[in-house]
């Protein structure tokens, strides 16, 4: 016997999806802040700083997000900090996102023609003036589309928080599946809700890319 | 019977009437230069001859085969009509020799050994026998264009279409390519060139076709046309380019 | 820090780690081959003349790219049996990975195909090559060559994603890690070491792919 109607399931999933959204927002904002710092390290003229930043990026791009979640979760408790799945997920996703975002942004800055630097130098601008007035405004424009595109990866990444017990959309799905024994329906709905969250972002990213390419 | 027969050909790009009834007969062994301003329809006409562009009215035959944009027909035509492009269009991932042997092996079903011999023959003709195992990126523009000519020759066409083949080259490399064409002309190859090289058109070409506003505006013996243009448009064109 | 790291506590379980690693490598290998093949076919359909096929591929690509891998995995492993398609964990896991990589590689390869200069196709046409010959001999090789780094990165991302297969009990590397830490309670040490193994796998995979790149495309070795 099944006491759950389709509507019940959908409602429960939508409620859980709120936490997917909140976690995504936190991971994006946290990732963007740390990522910005890393980007500046990566393009700095200090080799040591560049190395550290590069290593950080390699580390987080070269290991599974799931491992990062486990390490944060278990690592923090070793330090005597009592971590909730919630904190661990937010922290791990922040670290993960920052590595990818800084790599995207570094690429944007480096994609600008060398002539821009050279011309600015000839005009007598300092490093920071060049950054502030010439490079960053242009890089920002190039960076918008891939950044929005990466936000899709963050939303999808939050699904792994379910594995350490954070109740968001995917976890709610597994729980509902255990209660209803209707995996096809439940996971179909879960997928649909993720799609509704991610697809607009994908479309926006593509749209921005085209628009910015046309206007130069 | 002429090798190429172009009979009252019309072509539109939407509302734009780019070929307005072109008639042209080309005999085997002739060297024809098509000149004119950009937008006069000269490249379009050339590309109609081997079916790369479709036409809307009239008829074209090459070697008694009707030219249509049907893929099967273009494939048949490839054995009679060769084409060399402004931008070479060599295949970057293949060596010079592989570029040349690809089509003979796939289309004419020539054996690998035969194709290799053929490649060396045509490379010798364009003076690049030593570059057989190089990749296109290792060659200068002029050498790449000569390889492209060799690639066309390997299909043993009866007529070779050349679409502004020296326009993308550095000036000092143009001579080598023109020399190859001159030799081909001397051997009796039928050549149809869309070109900006007026000296070549005058000295090597048999006939010059001046296109203007989608029509053959004036044509005739190469030397006469340049010496005494009959229409003010051609006079103006010659004054501008020479 | 008061805690003493006890990496030696992993030694008795070395065999589990090795077995897990082998499974991860084998699944990754199968996925890479089949996924890229699927991507190539779909990219061809996307660039081809049939608008119906192109649309079907478009829907597939968007569905996969806009949902989490773990949900795709659960859908295949738990959901498909409802339709009568019963797969072992191993099969479901590999299938999910192939489908996932297929979607991403479709987009990557399509971008390479679309970057083919029109003149290349015209040259092939004029030489009399068929549409199929043109695609396989003229369009595809430079396209793959161009997007190879992006394809490599995607294959590595999918390899790292295989950690999630542990959730349906495929006995790969992460499953081994979970098993070991449930026995010796040295969670941090286990995950730390296994994360390191994944890092080495990523680096190794990139090296291997670069090597293959130069082997398959000898024109890369030619100087410009």
> Would the pLDDT of A113 be above 80?
yes
Average pLDDT over residues A180-201: 95
Predicted confidence (pLDDT) at residue A208 exceeds the cutoff of 80? yes
- Answer whether B201's CB lies under 8 Å from B208's CB: yes
| Dihedral of alpha carbons A41, A42, A44, A45, sign | positive
Q: Is the pLDDT of residue C1 over 80?
A: no
Task: Give the pLDDT confidence of B77-108 residue by residue, as tens digits.
Answer: 888 999 999 999 999 999 999 999 999 999 99
Give the C-alpha separation, C202 to C205, whole Å: 5
Contacts of A163 in chain C (CB under 8 A): 70, 164, 167
Q: For a pLDDT cut of 70, what percent of chain A falls above it? A: 97
Burial class (CB in 10 A: 0-12, 13-18, 19+), C220: middle
Q: Determine, for residues B91 and C223 on separate chains, whether the beta-carbon distance falls below 8 Å.
A: no
Half-sphere exposure of A138 (CA within 13 A, CB side): 16
- Cα A2 to Cα A77, A183, C82: the distances in Å are 40, 13, 16
Classify A27 as helix, strand or coil.
helix
The structure tokens 């080495």 sit at C200
Coil, helix or strand at residue A148: helix
| Contact across the interface for B151 and C127, Cβ inside 8 Å | yes
Gap from A78 CA to chain C (nearest CA, Å): 7
Q: Please indicate whether, in this complex, the C-beta atoms of C198 and A62 are within 8 angstroms of each other.
A: yes
Tokens, residue B102: 């690809």
Best mutation target, C5, C179, C195, to test chain A (most A CBs within 10 A): C195
Q: What is the mean pLDDT of residues B127-147?
A: 95
Dihedral sign of CA atoms B187, B192, B196, B199 in order: positive
Mean pLDDT of B135-163: 95
The C-alpha R_g of chain C, in whole angstroms, comes to 21
pLDDT above 70: residue A1: no
Q: Report the alpha-carbon distance of residue C127 to residue C136 in Å, rounded.
A: 15
Average pLDDT over residues B203-220: 93
Interface residue C72 vs chain A (CB under 8 A): yes
Interface-testing mutation among C113, C127, C136, with chain B (most B C-beta atoms within 10 A): C127
Nearest C-alpha of chain A: how many angstroms from C132? 30
- Which residue among A62, A67, A184 sits closest to C82, beta carbon to beta carbon? A184
The tokens describing A138, both together, are 């242009």
Strand partners, B6: B24, B60
Task: Write the residue in C75, C83, C198 that is nearest to A67 by C-beta.
Answer: C198
CA dist C75 and C85 (Å) reads 12
Q: How far apart are CA A178 and CA A141, in angstroms?
A: 47
Global pTM? 0.88
pLDDT at A106: 94
Eight-class DSSP state of A112 = S
- Taking an 8 Å cut-off on Cβ atoms, the answer to whether C142 and B103 are in contact is no
Reported as a pLDDT band with limits 50, 70 and 90, residue C8 is confident
What pLDDT was estimated at residue C193?
Answer: 95
Q: Which of residues 47-66 of B touch C (CB under 8 A)?
A: 50, 52
Q: Which of A63, A70, A182 sits opposite C160 (nearest CB)?
A: A63
Sheet with B16-26, edge to edge strand ranges? B16-26, B4-13, B57-62, B65-66
B223 to chain C nearest CA, in Å? 32
Least confidently predicted of A41-45, A76-80, A151-155, B117-121: A76-80
Q: Region of A10 please: left (phi>0), alpha (psi -120 to 50) or beta.
A: alpha
Q: DSSP class of residue B133?
A: T
Residues 6+ apart with CB under 8 A from B117: none
At residue A216 the predicted structure's pLDDT band, cuts being 50, 70 and 90, is: very low
- For chain C, list residues whose CB is within 8 angstroms of any CB belonging to chain B: 117, 119-120, 122-131, 133, 137-138, 141-142, 145, 217, 219, 222-224
Mean pLDDT of all residues belonging to chain C: 93
d(CA A52, CA A88): 23
pLDDT digits over C74-115, tens only? 999 999 988 888 899 999 999 999 999 999 999 999 999 999
Residue B139 makes CB contacts below 8 A (sequence gap 6+) with B96, B131, B147
Q: CA-to-CA distance for B57 and B242, rounded, in angstroms?
A: 35
* Integer angstrom CA distances of residue A145 from A150, A207, A210, C104: 9, 8, 9, 18
pLDDT of residue A2: 56
B156 touches C at CB < 8 Å: no
Contact check, Cβ <8 Å, C119/B82: no
Please state the CATH superfamily assignment of the domain spanning residues C30-168 in this structure: MetI-like (1.10.3720.10)
pLDDT recorded at residue C138:
96
Report yes or no on A1 lying in a domain. Answer: no
> Residue A171 maps to which CATH number?
1.10.3720.10
DSSP at B13: E
Q: Does B119 touch chain C (CB under 8 A)?
A: no
Please name the member of C162, C166, C192 whose beta carbon is closest to the beta carbon of A71: C192
| Residue percentage of chain B with pLDDT more than 70 | 100
Q: Answer whether residue A64 is part of any domain.
A: yes
Q: Which residues of C touch A78 (CB under 8 A)?
A: 3, 188
| Cα separation, C129 vs B99, whole angstroms | 13
Average pLDDT over residues C157-176: 96
Interatomic CA distance for residues A116 and A113, integer angstroms: 6
CA distance C110 to C220: 21
Token code pair at residue A45: 């003229």
Q: Are strands B190-194 and B4-13 parallel, antiparallel or unpaired?
A: unpaired
Q: What is the mean pLDDT of residues A17-28?
A: 97
Report DSSP state, residue A168.
Answer: S
Task: Quickly count: other Cβ atoms within 10 Å of residue C106's Cβ.
Answer: 27
Could you tell me if C32 lies within 8 Å of chain A, comparing CB atoms? no
Residue A215 binned pLDDT confidence (cut-offs 50, 70, 90) = low
CB contact under 8 A, A174 and C1: no
- For position A121, what pLDDT does the model report? 85
| Average predicted confidence (pLDDT) for chain B | 93
Q: Which helix (H) or strand (E) holds B172?
A: helix B171-186
Q: Which residue of C has its CA nearest to A196?
A: C66
pLDDT of residue A149: 95
Chains within contact range of chain B (3+ C-beta pairs < 8 Å)? C
**Nearest chain C residue (CA) to B73:** C128
Cβ neighbours for B78, distance < 8 A, ≥ 6 positions apart: B50, B103, B107, B155, B157, C126, C127, C128
B181 vs B160: CA distance, rounded Å: 10
Is A195 within 8 Å of C63 when comparing Cβ atoms? yes
Count up the domains in chain A and report the number.
Answer: 1
Show residues of chain A in contact with C167, CB under 8 Å. Answer: 163
Is residue B105 within 8 A of residue B181, CB to CB? The reply is no
| Torsion, CA B14, CA B16, CA B18, CA B19, rounded to 10 | 80
Q: Decide if A170 contacts A192 (C-beta within 8 A).
A: no
Q: Which domains does chain B have, with CATH numbers?
A: 90-156 (1.20.1580.10)
Distance of CA B154 to the CA centre of its chain: 15
**For residues A214 and B177, which has the higher predicted lDDT (pLDDT)?**
B177
The answer, for B93 touching chain C at a CB cutoff of 8 Å, is: yes
The answer to whether C179 and C15 have CB atoms below 8 angstroms apart is: no
CB contact under 8 A, B89 and C117: yes
Are B91 and C123 a contacting pair at CB < 8 A?
yes
Residue A20: which domain range? 6-215
* Alpha-carbon distance C12 to nearest alpha carbon in chain A (angstroms): 21
Domain limits, chain C:
30-168
Is the Cβ of B91 closer than 8 Å to some Cβ of chain C? Answer: yes
**For residues A22 and C83, what is the distance between their CA atoms, to the nearest angstrom?**
34
d(CA C123, CA C147): 22
């Amino acid at each position: 016997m099944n006491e759950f109607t389709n509507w019940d399931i959908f409602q429960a999933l939508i409620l859980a999806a709120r936490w997917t959204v909140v976690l995504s927002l936190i991971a994006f904002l946290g990732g963007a802040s740390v990522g910005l710092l890393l980007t500046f390290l990566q393009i700095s003229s200090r080799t040591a700083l560049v190395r550290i930043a590069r290593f950080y990026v390699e580390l987080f791009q070269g290991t599974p997000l799931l491992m990062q979640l486990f390490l944060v979760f278990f690592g923090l408790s070793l330090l005597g900090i009592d971590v909730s799945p919630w904190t661990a997920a937010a922290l791990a996703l922040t670290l993960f996102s920052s590595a990818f975002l800084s790599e995207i942004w570094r690429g944007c800055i480096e994609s600008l023609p060398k002539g821009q630097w050279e011309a600015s130098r000839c005009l007598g601008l300092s490093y920071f003036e060049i950054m502030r007035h010439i490079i960053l405004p242009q890089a920002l424009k190039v960076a918008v589309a891939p950044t929005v595109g990466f936000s899709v990866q963050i939303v999808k990444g939050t699904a792994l928080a379910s594995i350490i017990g954070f109740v968001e959309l995917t976890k709610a799905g597994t729980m509902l599946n255990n209660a209803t024994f209707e995996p096809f329906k439940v996971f179909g709905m879960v997928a649909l809700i993720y799609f509704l969250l991610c697809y607009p972002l994908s479309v926006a990213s593509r749209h921005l890319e085209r628009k910015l390419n046309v206007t130069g | 019977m002429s090798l190429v027969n172009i009979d009252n050909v019309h072509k539109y790009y939407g509302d734009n009437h780019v070929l307005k009834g072109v008639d042209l007969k080309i005999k085997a062994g002739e060297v024809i230069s098509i000149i004119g301003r950009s937008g006069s329809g000269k490249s379009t006409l050339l590309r109609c001859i081997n079916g790369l562009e479709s036409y809307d009215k009239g008829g074209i035959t090459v070697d008694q085969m009707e030219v249509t944009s049907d893929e099967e027909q273009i494939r048949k035509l490839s054995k009679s009509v060769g084409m060399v492009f402004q931008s070479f269009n060599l295949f970057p991932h293949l060596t010079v020799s592989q570029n040349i042997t690809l089509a003979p092996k796939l289309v004419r079903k020539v054996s690998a050994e035969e194709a290799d011999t053929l490649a060396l023959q045509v490379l010798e003709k364009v003076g690049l026998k030593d570059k057989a195992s190089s990749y296109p990126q290792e060659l200068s523009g002029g050498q790449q264009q000569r390889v492209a000519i060799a690639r066309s020759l390997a299909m043993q066409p009866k007529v070779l279409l050349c679409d502004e083949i020296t326009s993308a080259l550095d000036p000092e490399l143009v001579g080598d390519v023109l020399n190859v064409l001159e030799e081909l002309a001397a051997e009796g190859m039928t050549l149809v060139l869309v070109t900006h090289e007026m000296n070549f058109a005058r000295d090597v070409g048999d006939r010059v076709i001046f296109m203007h506003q989608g029509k053959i505006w004036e044509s005739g013996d190469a030397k006469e046309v340049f010496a005494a243009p009959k229409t003010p448009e051609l006079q103006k064109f010659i004054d501008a380019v020479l | 820090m008061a805690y003493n790291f006890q990496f030696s506590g992993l030694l008795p379980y070395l065999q589990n780690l090795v077995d897990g690693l082998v499974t991860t490598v084998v699944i990754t290998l199968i996925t890479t081959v089949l996924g890229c093949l699927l991507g190539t076919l779909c990219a061809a359909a996307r660039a081809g003349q049939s608008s119906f096929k192109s649309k079907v591929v478009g829907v597939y690509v968007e569905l996969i790219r806009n949902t989490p891998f773990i949900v795709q995995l659960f859908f295949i492993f738990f959901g498909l049996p409802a339709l009568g398609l019963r797969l072992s964990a191993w099969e479901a896991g590999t299938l999910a990975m192939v489908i996932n990589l297929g979607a991403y590689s479709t987009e990557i390869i399509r971008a390479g195909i679309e970057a083919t200069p029109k003149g290349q196709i015209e040259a092939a046409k004029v030489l009399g090559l068929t549409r199929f010959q043109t695609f396989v001999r003229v369009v595809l090789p430079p396209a793959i060559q161009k997007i190879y780094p992006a394809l490599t990165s995607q294959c590595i991302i999918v390899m790292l994603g295989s950690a999630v297969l542990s959730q349906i009990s495929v006995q790969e590397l992460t499953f081994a890690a979970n098993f070991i830490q449930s026995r010796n309670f040295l969670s941090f040490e286990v995950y730390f070491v296994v994360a390191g193994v994944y890092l080495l796998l990523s680096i190794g995979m990139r090296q291997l792919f670069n090597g293959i790149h130069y082997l398959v495309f000898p024109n890369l070795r030619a100087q410009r």
